[in-house]
Amino acid sequence: MRIVIAGGHGQIALRLERLLTARGHEAVGVIRNPDQGKGLRDAGAEPVVLDLESSSAQEVAEVLRGADAVVFAAGAGPDSGAERKETVDRGAAVLFADAAELAGVRRYVVVSSMGADPDHPGDEVFDAYLRAKGAADAYVRSRTGLDWTILRPGMLTNDAGTGTVLLTASTGRGPVPRDDVAAALLELLETPATAGLTLELISGNVPVAVAVKDIAGN
């Protein structure tokens, strides 16, 4: 498969690109900073420079045309303010969804966040982040032209992946290594029957491939 990933230089995205390449897929990473291209090439991915905050849906669709699936893994980052949560975490996810539909790419996988909710209360930047992610998720779920899956990991860590997780509609809070999030994304992409599911992910005791197989079609 040819998979295009928004936020291609992110920590989860780079891990996913390596896994996709190892599995024989073609990974394309969308990045804003051309200096990040080497990191993507080292991960086996093809870099495409495109600013999702200033591009049109038609421009993004040209990049997505011919893809088998897209992954939205972009984010404004922990040092950004509430305004960029709106333009990246919500706006770019919506743009990527619109572009996927224009390009005729049905499979759309979103890396969201546990607690994402368009009506989340609070005035802190993290509250704005959860509202933005929740609004993006709601938009994606409304698109009948997309076979979407939304993955909401728990607290992300850089611990080595264990290869075992808990993946259900509601897991409760807990940590999960980024390695295991990337592994789950790979399996979700290869399992079309997970379309239409919003899933939470934390560390657990079920092998990733088995966890995805078990939830598919539910």
Q: Which residues contact 143 (CB under 8 A, 6 or more apart)?
A: 97, 101, 108
Name the E strands within the chain.
2-6, 26-31, 46-49, 69-72, 107-111, 147-153, 155-157, 164-168, 175-177, 197-203, 206-207
Distances (CA, A) of 18 to 22, 27, 216: 6, 8, 24
108 is catalytic: no
Q: Which residues pair with 203 in a beta bridge?
A: 165
- Residue 195's SS3 state is coil
Whether 110 contacts 137, CB under 8 Å: yes
Which of 145, 138, 149, 139 minimizes the C-alpha distance to 191?
A: 149
Active-site residue among 129, 147, 149, 154? 129
Q: Which residues have a Cβ under 8 Å from the Cβ of 180 and sit 6 or more positions away? A: 161, 162, 163, 164, 165, 201, 203, 208
- Here the tokens at position 159 are 């611990």
Catalytic center residues: 129
